[in-house]
Amino acid sequence: MQSFRTEIENPVVEKDIIELERKIRQFKGGELDEEKFRSLRLARGVYGQRQPGVQMVRIKLPYGKVTSNQLLRISDVSDEYSRGRLHITTRQDIQIHYVDLERTPELWAQLEKDDVTLREACGNTVRNVTASETAGIDVNEPFDVSPYAHAVFQYFLRNPIGQEMGRKFKVSFSASDADTGLSYMHDIGFIAKIKNGERGFKVMLGGGLGSQPRHADELYSFLPSDKIIPLMEGVIRVFDRYGERKSRAKARMKFLLKDIGLEGFKVLLEEQQLAIPFQTYPIDFESYPISEVAVVDAVPEVEIEDEQEFNKWKSTNLVPQKQKGFVAIGIKVLLGDFYTDKARELAKLVQDYAAGEIRLSLRQNILIPYVKEELVPFFYSELKKLDFVEAGYNKALDITACPGTDTCNLGISSSTGIAAELERVIKAEYPQYISNPDVVIKISGCMNACGQHNMANIGFQGMSIRTKDKLVAPALQVLLGGGNFGNGKGRFADKVVKIPSKRGPQALRLILDDYNANGNGASFADYYWEKGEHYFYEFLKPLTDIDNLTQDDFIDWGNAEKYKKEIGIGECAGVIVDLVATLFFESQEKIENSEDALEQGKWAASIYYSYQSIVNSAKALLTSEKVKTNTHAGIIKDFDRIFVETDKISLGQNFEDLATQLNKNKPSKAFAEAYLQDAKQVLEQLEAYRKLELEHA
């Protein structure tokens, strides 16, 4: 690990990587329990894979922007530590698979040489900040949201308020009212607006997908841009304190909003205001780097062999750009998978002839901005050499799918296999849909909706079915009628029928045939809602019959062997030897973090670490009493009830007043120092109580 100390200039990053390496050694040596190690590695982008002994590494790429140098670095890392395949996710990240756990610190160090991070790409953290891939070039945008998305990414990276929440937190930015950032399905979503000449955002709160999708509430119709970071900090503080922590199924922001309502949430939000270090946080958008387009002395001459194919590609894969004389080129990436040999050629192409960057999209594709119009034939010719000129960018043929049972622990049935087959069916039998932007098809391998199936016009969710003879076959839930209507409005799809997976193509044929016959020019979403769920159930119902299954129905798409339902063991299944001792150990770590932040003059960060230590110490004693510790708010109240009010522990005040001092004091050096001493005293007193308890047990 010495090389990390000499090669990485940023001491914070260096410390992170060295800590990961140390924790891996402790875990391998049996000094660190699996649950604690899992939390640490997930927050550093290292995720357990379906296949034993290897990891998936998620590379965090804010708002999907990747420079040529970064793409080359990612390619080098994938070749060295993985298998040369890059997977674009629906959150604009890149994932690489089959990585040896012990090599992940070294891998991370290599990425950081080009300012690429793994930090908080997974885990109960603020995940990657996503945005419209057309941000900065969108002909309809009031302004470029990229500087704001980047500022949010920077502000919350390693921020203590978002490191150990009950679940993940997702944020998006939409460039225009088209809401291509999908604000309505995010924990917090921002849509660019201008009001009286001032930049700001419409703010959506508490959306989400999963097994129980929820449409976000409108929190503000317009919020000035200098308020978005203070607002988001307050939202995260509320979620951290009041969000569910025990039951993962209920631990998302959407469930907190559902329980207390928008007005109740606003009350809790107001209680946080004094603790937030910045009441305004201006974002200097003018200093955001301007894309520098390569100077091309002469347009390379190319010969287009098939003009019809070229024109078809241009009609579906060119995206208008607000900068005069430029267009963006969309690359349809089948299932989001491409390889490092092509990635390197693409990086060189955009470096020499565009602006030296690409954008990854929410539909798992690539967008090349700043292509001069006269260079379009040349780009087509070069991309054709890479097999990157398939028509249908962001059209019906462009199906989104998660990895499913290929690599994911939670996958129930194949997503990639059925997606490839449905694309084949559309190409062969419904070629007119190759240029249709209206029909959106998405597929997930389980209920978690990583493929966003329940917001699609036509969605498929991986499941299984059991016959009367107890045989298990792969299945698909067919969902219909979802859609994005812009400006924070959307609709989630209805679950219509459940069918054997091998009947997925037949279901798609029935749906498209009926739409062709009876759609009467309406959008697919309007056609669905006019006909109603029962209408579709009736003509799809024959596909649900499982009394006539054939041998082929028991083999999933993309597989040769008979299907077995094998959901991977959840990563939270580790055995904990002494959870109470582990919690006290974590409290001490948070005190050390608080001390470090104090030394650096980061008063708000120090205060929050002290708060986490205080609550964590209380959680330790409550755990020893087998009391549920579902939320921070619950921990605080239960500690008062069980230990303070019964005089088992004397703090000189009730625990709630002590713990929540951060809401009653502005961040300052004096308060940070005093609160740190409180955290130390609480830990010392509670550990002493636990020691006596064990001695007299």
Which CATH number is 130-283 given?
Answer: 3.30.413.10
CATH 1.20.120.330 assigned to 579-695: yes
- Distance, CA of 190 to CA of 181 (rounded, Å): 8
DSSP-derived letter for residue 301 is: P
| Nearest Cα to Cα of residue 417 among 481, 341, 338, 476 | 476
- Distance, CA of 330 to CA of 338 (rounded, Å): 14
Cβ-proximal residues to 127 (8 Å cutoff; 6+ apart), any chain:
91, 120, 121, 168, 169, 170, 171
- pLDDT on residue 566: 56
Is 328 a residue whose pLDDT tops 70?
Answer: yes
Output Rg (C-alpha) for the chain, integer angstroms.
26
Is 573 a residue whose pLDDT tops 70?
Answer: no
What does the block give as tokens for 567?
Answer: 């959901």
Instruction: Determine the average pLDDT of the residues in 96-122.
Output: 93
Residues in the chain: 697
Is 383 a residue whose pLDDT tops 50?
Answer: yes
- Distance, CA of 59 to CA of 74 (rounded, Å): 9
- pLDDT on residue 1: 40
Reported in sequence order, the residue ranges of 109-197 that DSSP labels E, i.e. its strands, are 130-131, 171-174, 188-195
pTM of the shown model: 0.90
CATH 3.40.50.2300 assigned to 400-554: no
Cβ-proximal residues to 241 (8 Å cutoff; 6+ apart), any chain:
268, 631, 632, 633
- Distance, CA of 131 to CA of 221 (rounded, Å): 19
For all residues of the chain together, what is the average pLDDT?
A: 91
- Strand duo 400-401 + 441-444: pairing: parallel
pLDDT category of residue 397 using cuts at 50, 70 and 90: confident
Return the CATH class of domain 307-385.
alpha beta
Same fold flag, 130-283 and 400-554: yes
The full set of domain ranges for the chain reads 2-112, 130-283, 307-385, 400-554, 579-695
Residue 115 Cα distances to 70, 334, 367, 429, 691, angstroms: 8, 27, 21, 45, 46
Which CATH number is 2-112 given?
Answer: 3.90.480.20
Is 575 a residue whose pLDDT tops 50?
Answer: no
SS3 459: strand
Is 612 a residue whose pLDDT tops 70?
Answer: yes
- pLDDT on residue 36: 76
pLDDT tens digits, 289-323: 999 999 998 999 999 999 999 999 999 999 999 99
Phi, psi of 8 (to 5 degrees): -100, 120
pLDDT category of residue 561 using cuts at 50, 70 and 90: confident
